[in-house]
Amino acid sequence: MLNDRIRYAPLRDKVMDSVQAASHIQDGANLFISGFTAGYPKLIPRELVNRAEAGERLKVNVYAGASTGEQVDGIMARAGIVNWRRPYMSDRNMRELINREEILFKDDHLSQLPPLVRSGEWGPVDVAVVEVLAITERGHLIPTMSVGNTPTYVREAKKIIIEMSGAEPPELEGIHDIYIPEDPPYRMPIPIYRTSDRVGKPFMECNPDRVVAILASKEEDSCAIFNEPDEVALLIAEQILDFVQHEVKQGRLPAGLPWQSGVGDVANAVLGGFLEDDFFHDLDLYSEVLQDAVLDLIDMGKVRAASGSAMTLSTKARKRFFKELYRYKEKIVLRPTEISNSPEVIRRLGVLAVNTAVEADIYGQVNSTHVCGSQLMNGIGGSGDFERNSALSFMVTPSMAKGGKISCIVPMVSHVDHSEHSVDVIVTERGLVDTRNLTPRQVAEQVIKKCAHPEYRDLLWDYYQRALKQRGGHEPHLLNEVFSFHTRLLETGDMRP
């Protein structure tokens, strides 16, 4: 089986075990790995952890496409062998260490990394560790369930270690579209005009001389677990679909704009909402991560094309996807993050972006990353790429969290990732506010009335009214009490007095 997948014969000699392979990775190395929620290597991280546990002094910098699974971020964080980690992660243990600065982390817009790596700004690409489906006749690499930044990492790496995955069927080949743009000042347009456009090659170009090891792997990605959407998610989804439908009918929004939707249950619910809907047909999804709902929509005949950088599926959906791959492959394109998240393409296509907030404030500023201003959750990911450049940007959040102890609508967000200028529409299960033609004061009135939970409405209204009277201005704020909700939460565990 392994030889079938290594179609470039000279590389068959490079097959070895993970102990030998990992010997190319030394203390202090810059490790650039494949992976964007899926498609990350599993054997080398485990072997590095083994070495550390056996007493070796080992710290490496880990650069991926975005988050990976327990088999990378979880075990490496716990073993204490990660120095820098970029960009985005969602592992509980790693998060703790980042918040203690025991792992160094900087939060990046995902679309901006590959050119920085190519410029050398992130230091030498010592070793790329890449999960692949197959090696072509010329030594090029077929990715697995994600593309992420891997094409750039492979191109720039001094040494390449390959984990040949046996977990995906060979028919996955052909789903990817790999295109690395020329860097400025000599870049030409990225020639994507429609969601379905293929502009590159189905493989990542690779110089086989740099491949130092190939491992046979049977490990699977840790699968996503999606909950059935709850009432809150369904209400949010319903309002977004109603709003867009209304704007299209009024002639203010053209029909047929592609959708992006962030990661998680609410995002999945928004796409799920299309299943019950009669208005939207021939959907284009120009997104980052494709989740279970995309397969459902394809099955219903609702999708014209779905483009992303990764597929994150539940165990059940994964089986279904592999079983009828021939059918799904006609609809799905997986691209490098630099392309899936390209401001150029997002603006050109006129994407409708739906992303999730940790909290939003009465003026529409949004926090996606830091709890009470200080504690990092996961990172900004691609939300900035989409919110800032889309034709219409939605930010969604439940009105409350933790059984009411937290209001997700606050006087001022404790950290800003997306400014009011980049956020068009705020949605909670309570209501939706289109901020595009409102002054900040009008936004505040509407967000408090429509989006906030009734339990917090009076508190917010009282704050706003006093700010208006005592301070006034274009965006009235009382700076000496603007974080009273948050400080109460920190002191008493509840934002309510």
Q: Which residues in 277-316 contact a copy of itself (CB under 8 A)?
A: 284
Stretch in the footprint of a copy of itself (CB under 8 A) among 71-79, 133-141, 410-418, 453-461: 410-418
Q: Which of 170, 487, 492, 493 touches a copy of itself by CB under 8 A?
A: 487
Residue closer to a copy of itself (CB basis): 101 or 137: 101
The two most distant CA atoms of the chain are separated, in Å, by: 77
- Our finding on whether 42 is near a copy of itself (CB under 8 A) is no
Q: Which two tokens stand for residue 445?
A: 């009135």
Give the alpha-carbon dihedral of 278, 279, 285, 291, to 10 degrees.
Answer: -30
How many residues bind to a copy of itself according to rule CB under 8 A? 85
Residue 25 Cβ vs a copy of itself, minimum distance, rounded to whole Å: 21
Q: Which three-class secondary structure state does DSSP give residue 353?
A: strand
- Our finding on whether 382 is near a copy of itself (CB under 8 A) is no
Stretch in the footprint of a copy of itself (CB under 8 A) among 130-138, 226-234, 260-268, 416-424: 416-424
Map the footprint of a copy of itself across residues 87-126, applying CB under 8 A. 98-101, 104-109, 115-116, 119-122
State how far the Cα of 259 lies from the Cα of 353, in Å rounded to an integer: 6
**Pairing, β 352-356 against β 259-261:** parallel
Indicate the DSSP class of residue 37: S
- Our finding on whether 199 is near a copy of itself (CB under 8 A) is no
State how far the Cα of 387 lies from the Cα of 383, in Å rounded to an integer: 6
In 3D, which of 468, 479, 483 has the Cα closest to residue 415? 483
Q: Which of 163, 173, 359, 475 touches a copy of itself by CB under 8 A?
A: 475
The helices-and-strands tally (H runs, E runs) of the chain is 18, 25
Q: Which of 439, 465, 466, 493 touches a copy of itself by CB under 8 A?
A: 439
Q: Which residue has the tokens 């709890």?
A: 371
Catalytic residue (one of 288, 359, 387, 429): 288
Q: Which of 73, 131, 359, 417 touches a copy of itself by CB under 8 A?
A: 417
Distances in whole angstroms, Cα of residue 351 to Cα of each of 137, 260, 291, 347: 37, 7, 18, 7
Does 87 sit behind a cis peptide bond, omega within 30 degrees of 0 on the bond before it? yes
Map the footprint of a copy of itself across residues 125-154, applying CB under 8 A. none
Stretch in the footprint of a copy of itself (CB under 8 A) among 196-204, 216-224, 372-380, 395-403: 372-380
Q: Please, are residues 396 and 266 in contact by the beta-carbon 8 Å criterion?
A: yes
- Our finding on whether 386 is near a copy of itself (CB under 8 A) is no
Residue 137 Cβ vs a copy of itself, minimum distance, rounded to whole Å: 33
State how far the Cα of 453 lies from the Cα of 142, in Å rounded to an integer: 48
Helix (H) or strand (E) holding 338: helix 337-340
Q: How many CB atoms lie within 10 A of CB 159?
A: 16
Q: Is 491 a catalytic residue?
A: no
Residue closer to a copy of itself (CB basis): 3 or 480: 480
Q: Please, are residues 387 and 288 in contact by the beta-carbon 8 Å criterion?
A: no
Q: Which of 15, 223, 401, 482 touches a copy of itself by CB under 8 A?
A: 482
Residue 57 Cβ vs a copy of itself, minimum distance, rounded to whole Å: 22
Stretch in the footprint of a copy of itself (CB under 8 A) among 32-40, 126-134, 181-189, 275-283: 181-189
Residue closer to a copy of itself (CB basis): 164 or 406: 406
- Our finding on whether 189 is near a copy of itself (CB under 8 A) is yes
Q: Give catalytic residues, as residue numbers.
A: 288
